[in-house]
Structure 1
Amino acid sequence: MCGSSAIHIMLSVTFIVFLFGGLCQASRHVSVDIINDIVPNVQLALHCKSKDKDLGSQSLVPHQYWGFREAINIWETTLFFCHFQWGSQSKWFDILATRRDQYICEHHPCVWSIRPNGPCRLTGQEQCFPWNA
């Protein structure tokens, strides 16, 4: 009897550790700020969403920013993409890709400068990316 009680307690403790560990992982968040750096006097329209959540349409004057904060799922597959329009241009980009951004933007917002040639992440060491095809 004593042996089975010890095993039961060990399994219960293990379950609790995994449960609370998973909850801590699930509560991680990443903040994203998007800045209109297209060109002077050009308004930037954007619409961001994931497969489950639509953040709606926004319109930014030059150098204005808009942002959102999102929880990172336990599988680290959280993905938000944005469609950008200015003048006759229409582009899109994965603005929050957990595996790419979570550690760089863990303690500071992921700040994205939206430029004609592609978005540049200003957080950490500046890094520019091409538009999605």
Structure 2
Amino acid sequence: MVLSNSLIECTEEAFVDILNYVGTDAIFVHCRSKDTDLGMTQIDPGEDYMFKFMPNFFGSTSFWCEFIWKSLTQDFNVWRGEDYLDRMPCSVTGSCAYKVSPEGFYWSSTLLAADDEGWTFWKNWES
């Protein structure tokens, strides 16, 4: 019975959505996992970039992204499976949304509008 429940959990799709709210500039994002490289993507102002995936049965799926805006960069895990003790809080629900702003990065476990309450500050840009 436990195996059956685990299989059901692993058939649920997860997603990461990245929203560009830095102002009038595009941001560039390069996301990848151990097995999948999604390549470099340009996200124009006010637009978003979403990717979906099936977490693996073992709970070891991990996606990280490099973000580039002007001369600033940041690189961090945007989604981690249940095998990781330091997994993202939003990974627990399967969905992670990020709002990229001039001051840094916010996350949410549900997709929100940029001006909605419910975003949690996550990281600053590195210089």
Please confirm whether the aligned pair reaches a TM-score higher than 0.5, indicating the same fold.
Answer: yes
Conservation of the 8 A alpha-carbon contact between 2:72 and 2:125: no
Percentage of pairs with the same residue: 25
How many Å separate the matches in 2 of 1:67 and 1:47? Answer: 12
Give the TM-score taking structure 2 as reference length.
0.74
| Structure 2 counterpart of 1:28 | 12
Which protein has the larger Cα radius of gyration, Structure 1 or Structure 2? Answer: 1
Counterpart amino acid of 1:118? G
Stretches of structure 1 lacking an aligned partner (at least 5 in a row): 1-16
What stretches of structure 1 move > 4 A for 4+ residues in a row?
Answer: none
1:89 counterpart = 2:72: yes
| Count of paired positions | 113
**SS class of match (2:53):** strand
8 A contact 1:93–1:131 mirrored in 2: no
Q: CA deviation at 1:88?
A: 1.1
Residue by residue over 1:86-109, the C-alpha shift from the partner in whole angstroms, topping out at 9 and shown as x without a partner, is 111121121112332233x34xx4
2:109 to 123, 127, 130: 123
CA distance in 1, matches of 2:78, 2:125: 10
CA RMSD across the alignment: 2.3
- Residue aligned with 1:52, SS: coil
Residue-by-residue CA offset, 1:36-67 (whole Å, 9 max, x unaligned): 112x2111011100111111111011111010
Instruction: Note if 1:76 corresponds to 2:52.
Output: no
